[in-house]
Structures are given as structure tokens and as C-alpha cells.
């Protein structure tokens, strides 16, 4: 059984094998994954290296 990955922003869950297009970031030493929708909606903030709490 594969691991389930949860979007750190909206809570969407998906099997790890289906998250190849998700964005991954390290914030305060913690690995965080963001789904396609949240990644697209917050692309400028991600490129500006803002922590997700500022989105």
C-alpha cells in the first residue's frame, strides 16, 4: 500500500504515486507538500520564497 500525501494548505490527499506534479518545500526544517491547485494559486509567493503562512 502506498503512502498518502496531504496538501499542507488545503488538506487534499492523494497517493504518493499521484503527486509527481505537486510542489514540495522545506519550511522551518519541515517538508511540506502542496497540491497542483494550491501551487498554481500561490506560484508568485512560492517563487518569492515566502512561507506558506503568508499566502
pTM of the model: 0.76
pLDDT digits (tens, 9 = 90+) for 33-50: 999 999 988 888 777 776
Domains in the chain: boundaries: 4-48
Rg (CA), the chain: 11
Pure H helices in 1-55: 36-41, 43-47
Burial 22-32 (b: 16+ CB within 10 A, else e): bbeeeeeeeeb
DSSP, collapsed to helix, strand or coil, labels residue 30 as: strand
Q: Which tens digits make up the pLDDT trace of 5-39?
A: 999 999 999 999 999 999 998 888 999 999 999 99
Rounded Cα distance between 31 and 22, Å, is 13
Amino acid at each position: 500500500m502506498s503512502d498518502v500525501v496531504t496538501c499542507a494548505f488545503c488538506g487534499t490527499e492523494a497517493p504518493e504515486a499521484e503527486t509527481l506534479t505537486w510542489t514540495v518545500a522545506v519550511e522551518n526544517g519541515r517538508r511540506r507538500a502542496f497540491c497542483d491547485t494550491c501551487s498554481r494559486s500561490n506560484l508568485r509567493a512560492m517563487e518569492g520564497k515566502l512561507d506558506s503562512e503568508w499566502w
